[in-house]
Structure 1
Amino acid sequence: MRRELIQAQRPKRFGWVDILVLALSVGLLYFLLTLGSGMKASFIPERASELDLNPILLPYYAGRSLLRMFLAYGLSLIFTFVYGRIAAYSKRASIVMVPLLDILQSIPVLGFLSVTVTGLIGLFPGNMLGPELASIFAIFTGQAWNMTFSFYYSVTAIPSEFREVSTMTRMSGFSRFRKLEVPYAMIGLVWNSMMSFGGGWFFLAASEAITVLGKDIKLPGIGSYMATAIDKGDMKAIYLSIATMILMIVVLDQLLWRPLVAWSQKFKMEQSEGDSQESWFLDLLRKSLVISHLHAVLKAVSLRIAEMFLRIKSIKRPAEENSSLSAIINFFIRLLKWGLALGLLYLIASHVLQGILLVLQLGQDDLLKPLEYGGYTFLRVLLGTLIGTLWTVPAGVAIGLNPKLARFAQPLVQIAASFPANMVFPFITLFYLNYHISPEIGAVPLMMLGTQWYILFNVIAGALAIPNDLKEASSVLGLSRYERWKKLILPAIFPYLVTGWITASGGAWNASIVSEVVSWRNHDLVATGLGAYIASVTNEGNWPKIIWGITVMALIVVITNRLIWRKLYVIANEKFNIV
């Protein structure tokens, strides 16, 4: 904060930093136009399964993947703010919206592709925009739920004193969102955004190499490049794709996530200044006169738009207009709302009825087996969450409380969390075969590879949010390490830890489909569980069993969240909210 004040007091002049910013902006614009034009190319099914493994094309493929990732992240951010805010403020809506979020999180990401790809290809015939939109939507489903949970829980945890102040000062909904809700949720949202972006990398290969209607569609991208290299056994291409992905993750960490983490520290609720995160790129941008002017213009425009809406809202129409035109407009608006609601209800009801009719075709044994398998997977999810907590809590606290360690560990954590864990499954399977490790136990570490990072990132966010005043007070009081953990650290990170548990357990259920069935050449290791059951019936194309298996998984996730995680969150919100 002190550095920001000093830089703000110095007069800014046009210099080499501004030239660099302008050059980067022009290059980025040209790059976006070039990549965007490729998304609207002609769609030829015969050529859609071909992908050139020439290393010269890797920068172009990486750019196409990044464009999809950022478009999906933008959609996820909009969804987070809208869905999370409605669920946080409307008790009636939250009764449906929060369990629905649990269900969406538990549905396998690849399950969305079978519906969206077919529909979007039909919507944009002969155009690559259909598969591109399906790929972006698949990445969106791997990013949105974690961010939405984080924002929802942060908004519901805002202290009542802050809410009372916003009411007393007559803040509008937009002002409350901009000045209270987003700043209060910012630290957790930034770290969960990093985790969600990592989740997008995890499913990138599956979302760019799509199989639909018996045909393979490979979109130009680093994920499909890696999938093609594995199919052809081209080790050189595999190593190049891994190196390119690691390079992209490191560059994004330096140019995006590290500056965001450093910037988000100004939203900490504290009265004294302590050690803070640093970013060389953020310091560089703060010296730019162009960035300063652009920020001022965008702020003025946003405030002007907000004022216009407030003025329009406050205009009082004449009584005649209110009694005639306004009444007619309100009637048609209500009619439109009811029409949309009934249409959506009919669509949902018709699909649910079709699903019920299919499930009724199953016998008693087919109905009971998924329930038994769900019990096995439930135990693995709990065991994986517990083991992940044992190492992520001390590691996350160490990273969050030590800025020097964070500067070194953050890119490493980003690489580990973002790298597609399913790419190392064959090597782990070979290890299990050589040492005769049972898949019933071996499925737990495989499940953890993609889920433990949710806990780690939330713990880091919780440790970063601890006010420096409280850390100084614990030192002044001479608390021992045990007392410091018991009275300060654990209570402070507990709300974030519960959020990490909820998202990690949901991710574990999602990952069970690929972790309970793994292969190496002609050897298959299959664990007894609901994930393996769904994978098996999906390969068979048995829709009644697929629907019933996913339904059982969603029910178990919702019941677990209601009976365990929600109660823990209430305790965290009522007893361990440090603000």
Structure 2
Amino acid sequence: MVMLRSYPSRGAFTRRTVHVGADAMVFVGAAALVWLVVRLVHSADVPWTVQTAPASVSTDPTELPYYAGRSLLRMFIALGASLVFTFVYATVAARSRRAEKVLIPLLDILQSVPILGFLSVTVTGFIALFPGSELGLECASIFAIFTSQAWNMTFALYHSLVSQPRELDEAARLLRLSRWQRFWRVDVPSGMIPLVWNGMMSFGGGWFFLTASEALSVDNHDFALPGIGAYVAAAGDNGELNRVLLAIVVMVVLVVGVNVLFWRPLTAWAERFRMEDSESAEAPRSLTLNILRRSRVGRSVGRPLGLLVNPLDRLMAVFGIAEHPLRTPPARRRAGDWAFAATVGLVVGYGAYRAVDFISATVGFGEVEHALLLGLATFARVVVLVIFATVVWVPVGAWIGMNPRVARAAQPVVQVLASFPANFLFPLVAAVLLATGISLDIGGVLLMALGAQWYILFNVIAGASAIPNDLREAAASLRLPRTARWRSLILPAVFPSYVTGGITAAGGAWNASIVAEVVTYNGTTLTATGLGAYIKDATSSGDTGRILVGVIVMSFYVVLMNRLLWHRLYAISERRFALS
């Protein structure tokens, strides 16, 4: 009797080798990441007091890798906090009619409050939470970065939820999904593409405000945390342009690395949530994502986690509130509305009374008139910026988003441009302005645009890339002329995303004014006439009354602009341009 022994084919050996190689790369990468995070977290917990705190960091180039790691860790912690905030805040605002009336205007106000306005209130509190440790200042810095990331992501998810296709909403209600089930099975997948693209843009916004969040000047005290933002601030103050340029090179390497290892895999993975009947001709690809998919490490870790997550999911589904509970009687609903309105009115009224009383007792109401006039100057810069960004970046963003091959090639470039903190270039710009004699009143528009215009570009790219392939094929089959294609398909499809980008770009421009209207280089400070310079000066001197006046006036302008323009455009986009 002859025994036949089978041998694995060459393809089996190849597949096994690929799996082993991918497993090794993923395991080594994960181990290195864990080791790096542990080392960085441990280095942040060092003795620290207000009296002995350094006012600046060393500009020794050998410290740059360590500074870059500390900054990157702060950015990702803030991004995680922003994602949790986005999931909770946007969902409540989109699903609760009463909450929406408060949360969306509040979000307008929150995105208009400059980072220095938050820092002037929170730094002391965070330091008190961790007495004698640098962790308090670290938390204050991370919170400042969080305030530069969260609002844009929240607006993106909120708009995705309120403009959700009607078919998805009806399916969720017919299946009687609980709110928990609907959130994870319908809401998050349908909003994944705009959420990822806006997450990239928010990450870029965090880079932009890195200097302001690491080199702090609050209440006549200067604090500096080890980080690349504080390094650039110190090098700029010392007039060391060569070290500023070196930090810019390191920053570009950081941005490209984060894009290759994190954002590009995430955008390629998010394509699985695209809602269409036909598959795109050329989907985004990522080498990092391919390695992760070929590796068995993720599946091995995911199995035990699934055993923990699945019971929690079933428990939340059982006790979760059904999306369509029993109908509330009209009288009870009106009574609830009146009670809700009365509660909100009391809270707002009390807050307004305390603010008026504090301003009256400190700086007086004449300061409000002065701040309003300064706000007009900043408002003019914001309007110019939004018009310029709309004319330039809407066509470019739509072209990139409609062409997957172009999007794959342009994404790293756009990501570098959007994520690169433009205020790293401020010392160079200040040197040019001093040499040419150009006023910062004019140059400030350019500096604000460097930090805010990308919100429009990224949102338009996300909107164009999310156009169902069915509609693209229909337009191609009908052989629509280019003008008709733009008028009938592209512009209506990207309009909702443009509104989200416009509202966050305008808010980002107001926020950017605090770093764009005051620029220091080699001991010389250039100041523009505007509300941002007013708030920065008040924060540096610890003048609480003027800080409050500046924040209130800036919030007034932002909310007024949102109510008169952006929210009306939101209503038009929901009514006329929703894909349903």
Fold shared, TM-score > 0.5 on shorter chain: yes
Q: 1:538 to 1:289 in 2, by over 3 A?
A: closer
2:292 corresponds to: 285
Deviation at 1:242, TM superposition (A): 1.6
Task: Say whether 1:268 aligns with 2:267.
Answer: no
Q: How much has 1:291 moved relative to structure 2?
A: 1.7
What SS does the aligned partner of 1:450 have? helix
Residue 15 of structure 1 is matched in structure 2 by 20
The aligned residue for residue 358 of structure 1 is 358
Amino acid at match of 2:46: A
Partners of 2:66 and 2:443 in 1: CA distance: 38
The structure-2 alpha-carbon separation of the partners of 1:219 and 1:367, relative to structure 1 and needing over 3 Å to count, comes to closer
Secondary structure of the equivalent of 1:216? strand
**Counterparts of 1:577 and 1:505 in 2: how far apart (Å)?**
23
- Which letter maps to 2:32? G
Q: Deviations over 1:72-109 (max 9, x none)?
A: 11100000000111111111111111111111111111
Task: Identify if the C-alpha distance between structure 1 residues 51 and 515 changes in structure 2 by more than 3 Å, giving closer, same or farther.
Answer: closer
Q: What is the match of residue 423 of structure 2?
A: 422
Asked whether 1:68 is paired with 2:74, we answer yes
AA of the residue aligned to 1:396: G
Structure 2 gaps of 5+ residues are 1-14, 322-338
AA matched with 2:492? P
Asked if 1 retains the 8 angstrom alpha-carbon contact of 2:116 and 2:536, the reply is no
Label 1:293 to 1:517 Cα distance change in 2 as closer, same or farther (>3 A): same
Q: Compared with structure 1, are the counterparts of its residues 561 and 172 closer, same or farther at alpha carbon in structure 2 (3 Å cutoff)?
A: same
Conservation of the 8 A alpha-carbon contact between 1:12 and 1:288: no
Secondary structure at 1:360 match in 2: helix
Determine the structure 2 residue equivalent to 1:42: 47
Residue aligned with 1:565, SS: helix
RMSD: 2.7
Report the CA distance between 1:246 and its aligned residue.
0.9
The answer as to whether partners of 1:355 and 1:544 remain within 8 angstroms in 2 is no
The number of aligned residues is: 544
| Contact kept? 1:459, 1:497, Cα under 8 Å | yes
| Counterpart contact for 1:286–1:292, Cα < 8 Å | no
1:307 equivalenced with 2:308 (yes/no): no
Q: Secondary structure at the match of 1:217?
A: strand
Partner residue of 1:494?
495
The one-character-per-residue Cα deviations of 1:328-354 (angstroms, maximum 9, x if unpaired) are xxxxxxxxxx9xx99x99998776544
2:357 maps to a residue whose letter is L
Give the direction of change, closer, same or farther, for the CA distance of 1:287–1:140 in structure 2 (3 Å limit).
same
Contact kept in structure 1, 2:389 and 2:453, CA below 8 Å = yes
Cα distance in 2 between the residues matched to 1:347 and 1:484? 50
Residues 28-85 of structure 1 deviation map (CA, whole Å, 9 limit, x = unaligned)? 1111211111122221442544634443332222221111111111100000000111
Which deviates further from its counterpart, 389-398 or 418-427?
A: 418-427
Q: Residue 427 and residue 470 in structure 1: after superposition, are their counterparts in 2 closer, same or farther (change >3 A)?
A: same
> What is the Cα deviation at residue 532 of structure 1?
3.5
* Candidates 32, 35, 40, aligned match of 2:37: 32
- For residues 86-125 of structure 1, the aligned pairs below 5 Å read 86-125=92-131
Give the C-alpha shift of residue 438 in structure 1: 4.9
1:5-25: CA deviation from partner (whole Å, max 9, x where unpaired): xxxxx9998411101111111
Letter of the 2:180 counterpart = F
How many Å apart are 1:570 and its aligned residue?
0.8
CA distance in structure 2 between the partners assigned to 1:347 and 1:573 by the alignment: 31
The structure-2 alpha-carbon separation of the partners of 1:425 and 1:48, relative to structure 1 and needing over 3 Å to count, comes to closer
Q: Distance in 2 between matches of 1:310 and 1:183?
A: 18
Shift of residue 413, structure 1, vs aligned partner: 1.3
Distance 1:536 1:34, change over 3 A: closer
CA-to-partner distance for each residue in 1:489-545, whole Å, 9 max, x for gaps?
Answer: 000000000000000011111122333344555766544433344344445554433
TM-score, normalised with respect to structure 2: 0.87
How far apart are residue 469 of structure 1 and its match?
Answer: 1.1
Counterparts of 1:11-410 in structure 2, within 5 Å, are 14-44=19-49, 45-46=51-52, 48-49=54-55, 51-212=57-218, 214-274=220-280, 275-311=282-318, 352-361=352-361, 365-410=366-411
Distance 1:216 1:491 in 2: 49
Equivalent residue letter for 2:20: G
| Aligned AA (1:38) | S
Cα 1:311–1:430, aligned 2, differ >3 Å: closer, same or farther? closer
Q: What corresponds to 1:461 in structure 2?
A: 462
Cα gap change, 1:227/1:529 in structure 2, threshold over 3 Å: closer, same or farther? closer
What is the deviation of 1:461? 0.1
Q: Secondary structure of the equivalent of 2:412?
A: helix
Q: Taking CA–CA contacts closer than 8 Å with sequence separation of 6 or more, which of the two structures ends up with the larger relative contact order?
A: 2
- The one-character-per-residue Cα deviations of 1:133-175 (angstroms, maximum 9, x if unpaired) are 1111111111101101101111111123311210111112111
Gapped runs of 5+ residues in structure 1? 1-9, 315-337
Tell me how far apart the structure 1 counterparts of residues 567 and 320 of structure 2 sit (CA, whole Å): 38
Name the structure 1 match of 2:326: none
Q: 1:300 to 1:390 in 2, by over 3 A?
A: farther
Is 1:570 matched up with 2:565? no
- Alignment-mate amino acid for residue 24 of structure 1: G
Distance 1:46 1:436, change over 3 A: closer
Output the amino acid matched with 1:76.
Answer: S
Aligned positions of 1:510-549 closer than 5 A: 510-518=511-519, 525-538=526-539, 541-549=542-550
Match of 2:4 in 1: none
Q: Separation in 2 of the partners of 1:112 and 1:238?
A: 27
Tell me which amino acid in the other structure corresponds to 1:409: A
In the aligned structure 1, how far is the partner of 2:438 from the partner of 2:75? Answer: 37
Identity of aligned residues (%): 48
The answer to whether the Cα contact below 8 Å between 2:219 and 2:539 also exists between their aligned partners in 1 is: no
Counterpart of 2:52 in 1: which secondary structure? helix
Whether the 8 Å CA contact 1:118–1:212 is kept in 2: the answer is no
1:233, distance to aligned residue in structure 2 (A): 3.2
The TM-score normalised by the length of structure 1 is: 0.87
Match of 1:504 in 2: 505
For 1:210, what is the secondary structure of its paired residue? Answer: strand
Structure 1 residues 541 and 42, CA, compared in 2 at 3 Å: closer, same or farther?
Answer: closer
Query: Is the alpha carbon distance of 1:439 and 1:565 closer, same or farther for their aligned partners in structure 2, counting shifts above 3 Å?
Result: same
Partners of 2:503 and 2:311 lie apart in 1 by 40
Q: Which secondary structure does the structure 1 equivalent of 2:226 belong to? A: coil
- The offset of 1:200, in angstroms, is 0.9
Deviations 1:255-280 (A, max 9, x none): 11001111111211211112211111
